[in-house]
Structure 1
Amino acid sequence: MALDLFVVLIYAAGMLVLGYYGMRRAKTHEDYLVAGRNLGPSLYMGTMAATVLGGASTVGTVRLGYVHGISGFWLCAALGAGIIALNLFLAKPLLKLKIFTVTQVLEKRYNPMARQASAVIMLADALMIGVTSILAIGTVLQVLFGLPFWVSVLLGGGVVVVYSTIGGMWSLTLTDIVQFVIKTVGLMFILLPICLYRVGGWDQLVAKLPASNFSFTEIGWDTIITYFMIYFFGILIGQDIWQRVFTARDEKVAQYAGTFAGFYCILYGLACALIGMAAHVLLPNLDNVNNAFAAIVKASLPDGIRGLVIAAALAAMMSTASAGLLAASTVLTEDLLPRLRGGKQSSLSINRLFTMLTGIAVLGIALVVNDVISALTLAYNLLVGGMLIPLMGAIFWKRATTSGAIASMTLGFVTALVFMFKDGLDANTPIYYSLAVGLVSFVLVSLLSRRPEASVARAI
């Protein structure tokens, strides 16, 4: 596989070169964190789609397609629907606020204590989003090139850490555009048609799989609803996604280009599910279904072409890994670090330092976690369970109070943890019970505490 390895190395070198160009454009604090708030439609659409579609969306959806058939696309569908809703309904008010983090909305509506409490939850979520894609990178490199898992994680993840650290959001934007093109061509226009050809065409795929594999509800309504509860709402309040919204030149760019990105995510999910279905026909006895993507690439593609598709998969994973990494670093430098420095705001050099340190932490966590969808579910359970209710209340309910928000964050976060430990990461109970407990505590404590004087709802 020397030719494939050469193609992947060329791709990795290209990402580092783009990172260097991003570094040259990131001359200010605002450039580094939100690309100067100046992205047009093409750059915005590409970076938004690339951010959402990462390791869990690619490797995870192929796995879901392998196990559940076409209904495996619902994970990406929930993400795409969240992108559409965010850009159509929330982008306009968010752009007016000129902020850097989700938690700044809570400070405007409540007080600095709410911002600090929510920053801890947001940090955990952003870290795990980075970890899921680094895990996927490691899995692909391990299976295809026979490298030890820890070497795969450090090599693939190391490239992400370097280009994210040196150029921040400008590096992410430039690499995301190239990654968007590569993964679209590699996965949708090369891997999918070749897999269908190897199976014998669509008619043979239908003939060799049970009819249930072509049902859009085979995965189960409970799972579909849970995907929307976790991923749809997670997109609406995730720091990595909001930070992309803040890069838009104006609200029209966000609304039109962002909506297009959402529909692209849904189509991408369908393509990955079909690849998984073809893999089930061609490789029916996989020992580990988590390796379905890497296995079908290795088995069905010739040398050289295989390297291009590997690069496409790495493109999807690296874009989301870098988004989670920069999001975690931004929460640290904008929300938590100033508290320790007496209110002093971070500089460009501080941003770079903490992005590097956060990257090292993400690589360390990736070495001890081994399931991409479970890691992503953990992140979104904590985020939605702890943050959705107080954040939506901050925007839409004038009677909400700081005490209610903090009670909701704390109890929702703890409830999600308890039920994930009790029932497992794949259970539906963590998200349902955490939202229920968060809502009840938010409303009751807000009604029993003093009414706030100011409301960010008026500003929005």
Structure 2
Amino acid sequence: MHWLDMAILMLYFLIMVVIGIIGSRKVGSKEEYALAGRNLGLVIYCSCLVAVIIGGAATIGTAKLGYQFGISGVWLVVMLGIGIMLLGLIFGNYFSKLRITTISEFLGQRYNEQTRFFSAIVSIIYTLMVTVTQIIGMGAIIHAILGWDMTLSMLVGGGVALFYTMLGGMWSVTMTDVVQFIVMTVGIFAVMLPLSLSHVGGMQALMNHVPATHWQLSAIGFKQIFQYFLLYCLGMVVSQDILQRVFTAKNARVSKQGAIFAGVYSIAWAIALSLIGMCAALLLPRLDNPQNAFASLADMILPPGLLGLVLAAVCAALMSNASGSLLASSTLLIQDILKPTWMKDWEERKLLLLSKGVTLLIGLIAMVFAIRIQDVLVALDIAYAILSGAIFIPIVLGILWKGVTAKAGFYAVIAGTIVVIGGLIIEGPTSTNAIMYGMGAGLLVIVGGSWLGKVKSSSEVPVQNRD
């Protein structure tokens, strides 16, 4: 790597660290650490929402899918975009009125404290695995471009994200997200995509030289598209890292408009990265690992300076997603498990220090997991499968159906979790059936349990004596 590219990348890392230090000075309470005071305007909010959606799978994963399947590689991120629009347009106003901090807090209010506790554990598993995917993605990019050992690459990239997130919480994440959004947009849409198309001879040449199946939206398979719907579209609606950003909007109007913008941007990102992957398939047809398609193509076609900028853009996408999911994990652990159980009377200063300590601990655990797994799409599939299969049904029916009982909601979360994890173990981590089994079990338990609860309650009502 040219010294100029290395300098740009190191400068980017340094800026993230400095922003983290500045952000830490704005944090004076646990709510400011978790939600940036619930006061973000439209421009900053749009930047933050995009940054938390577009991460390792949306970048490295989509380029990989574009390399393998062509334009149908868009479906992963398209489902993310549709999911965030559904959240903002249908459920955003409802959640804004509740003034909650976590999705598990909503389940606790709707059902009972046991549901809050158990769903928090499920959500922590999800957010932890999302953090793992971003660390793997950062490691893959740094490893492919700089040639560093994969473990060292993950430790460096993950360590920077962990540092600024731990220091300033959501304020640091928000401030870095604005910078990262700009770097991401310029790096992909103004540099990487145009130069990739230029090196294959333009859009027409790309259309002529890749297989015809690469221009079919269904080439990836309807089963895979449906799996992405279950994983990512439905997962967006109930994922803590996304909702935690939604809660930072200063009003419902900002929340809705931001969701529409983030959805449209996500679809544009999906198309761009799929095209980049297709260009890599033409220029580098014999890659040993398609996951390296983006990094290898960037290394091949970009001149000094621009390579560093694009590398920083990808790291920006990964870091923003990693920081959001990392903060979500620590918020869930403190807000829904530690504070209600053992720390009810703790003052704000102690809770703030605890938040930083928990963030550090979870970040270190995530890096250990990343070193062991090292496959970005597998890790993300596991994360969203557990989330969608376990808590989507209890959350949505809890909002839409007033007749759901507390016990039915609680047992639906447990049933869905057990079934989806069992399905993943039996059928493998990419099983669509496991998610459907989990959602089906949750639906059966929540509907049947609520009906039985009402029958039991009506049978216990004493009959009035008419004499």
Q: TM-score, normalised by structure 2?
A: 0.95
2:86 equivalent in structure 1: 85
Question: Given the alignment of the two structures, is residue 152 of structure 1 paired with residue 153 of structure 2, yes or no?
Answer: yes
Partner Cα separation in structure 1 for residue 68 and residue 361 of structure 2 = 38
Aligned counterpart, 1:319: 320
Partner in structure 1 of residue 301 of structure 2: 300
Q: Out of 11-20 and 427-436, give the one that drifted further.
A: 427-436
Shift of residue 390 of structure 1? 0.9
Conserved? CA contact 1:283–1:296, under 8 Å: yes
Residues 78 and 452 of structure 1: CA distance in aligned 2, closer, same or farther (over 3 Å): farther
Inter-partner Cα distance in structure 2 for 1:265 and 1:233: 16
Which residue, 407, 423, 427 being the options, matches 1:423? Answer: 427
> Is structure 2 residue 296 aligned with structure 1 residue 290?
no
CA deviation map 1:234-293 (0-9, x unaligned)? 000000011001100101111112211111011001000000000000000111111111
The CA distance in 1 between the partners of 2:7 and 2:320, in whole Å, is 21
Letter matched to residue 91 of structure 1:
G
* 440-449 vs 318-327, greater mean Cα deviation: 440-449
Q: How far apart are the structure 2 equivalents of 1:178 and 1:256?
A: 20
1:133-282 equivalences in 2 (<5 Å): 133-282=134-283
Aligned equivalents of 2:234, 2:269: Cα separation in 1: 20
Report the residue type matching 2:322 in the other structure.
A
Per-residue CA deviations over 1:104-157 (Å, capped at 9, x if unaligned) read 111111111110011110110010011100100011111111111111111110
Describe the SS at the equivalent of 1:26: coil
Query: Structure 2: how far apart are the matches of 1:244 and 1:341?
Result: 27
Paired residue type of 2:12? Y
> Which runs of 5 or more residues in structure 2 are unaligned?
458-467
Aligned equivalent of 2:128: 127
- Measured after TM superposition, the shift of residue 396 of structure 1 is 1.4
Structure 1 pair 126–169 and aligned structure 2 pair: CA distance change class (3 A) = same
Match of 2:464 in 1: none
Q: Check if 1:444 corresponds to 2:422.
A: no
Aligned to 1:410: 414
The structural deviation recorded for 1:344 is 3.5
Match of 1:11 in 2: 12
Contact in 2 for aligned 1:191/1:297 (Cα 8 Å): yes
Give, as a single letter, the amino acid of the residue that structure 1 aligns with 2:429: L
Cα distance 1:267–1:412, how it changes in 2: closer, same or farther (>3 A)?
same
CA deviation after TM superposition for structure 1 residue 449, in Å: 2.5
- Cα distance, 1:81 vs structure 2: 0.6
Q: Which amino acid aligns with 2:317?
A: A
* Match in the other structure for 2:462: none
How far did residue 97 of structure 1 move? 1.0
Contact residue 51 and residue 177 of structure 2 kept, 8 A? yes
Q: 1:22 to 1:262 in 2, by over 3 A?
A: same
Cross-structure match for 1:309: 310
Contact 1:105 1:394 in 2 (8 A): no
1:382-401 per-position Cα deviation (integer Å, ceiling 9, x unaligned): 00111011111221111212
- Name which of structure 1's ranges 134-143 and 420-429 shifts more when overlaid on structure 2: 420-429
Deviation at 1:372, TM superposition (A): 0.5
SS of 2:372's equivalent? coil
Residue identity opposite 1:178 in structure 2: V
Alpha-carbon distance, 1:446 to partner:
2.0
The equivalent of 1:27 in structure 2 is 28
Q: Is the 8 A contact 1:130 1:324 kept in 2?
A: yes
One-letter code aligned to 1:128: M
The one-letter amino acid of 2:272's match is A
1:452 offset after TM fit, Å?
12
- 1:363 aligns with one of 359, 362, 367: 367
When Rg is computed on C-alpha atoms for both structures, the one with the higher figure is 2
The CA deviation string for residues 54-113 of structure 1, in whole angstroms up to 9 with x for no partner, is 011100000000001011011110000111111111111111111110011111111111
The answer to whether structure 1 residue 434 and structure 2 residue 438 are counterparts is yes
Is contact 1:399-1:452 (8 Å) kept? Answer: no
Is the Cα contact below 8 Å between 1:400 and 1:452 reproduced in 2? no
Name the aligned partner's letter for residue 116 of structure 2.
R
In structure 2, the residue matched to 1:377 is 381
Q: Which residue identity lines up with residue 137 of structure 2 in the other structure?
A: A
Q: Once structures 1 and 2 are overlaid, which stretch shifts more, 129-138 or 338-347? A: 338-347
Change (3 A) 1:29 1:339: closer
**Counterpart in the other structure of 2:66:** 65
Q: Take 1:99 and 1:191, find their aligned partners in 2: how far apart are those partners?
A: 40
Which one-letter code corresponds to 2:114 in the other structure? Answer: M
Gapped regions of structure 1 (runs ≥ 5): 454-460
Contact 1:62 1:292 (C-alpha < 8 Å) held by counterparts: yes
Given residue 186 of structure 2, which amino acid in structure 1 is its aligned partner? Answer: V
Amino acid at match of 1:218: A
Aligned 8 A contact 1:401 1:452 in 2: no
- Output the amino acid matched with 1:15: M
1:350 matched to 2:354: yes
Structure-1 residue corresponding to 2:117: 116
Shift of residue 189, structure 1, vs aligned partner: 1.2
Flag the 1:452–1:256 CA change in 2: closer, same or farther, 3 A.
farther
2:460 equivalent in structure 1: none
Alignment-derived partner of residue 102 in structure 1: 103
- CA-to-partner distance for each residue in 1:274-316, whole Å, 9 max, x for gaps? 0000000000011111111111111111121111100000000
* Cα separation, 1, equivalents of 2:353 and 2:384: 30
Q: Is the 8 A contact 1:329 1:351 kept in 2?
A: yes
- Find the aligned partners of 1:438 and 1:370 in 2 and give their Cα distance: 31
Q: Larger deviation: 307-316 or 257-266? A: 257-266
Structure 1: how far apart are the matches of 2:81 and 2:125? 23
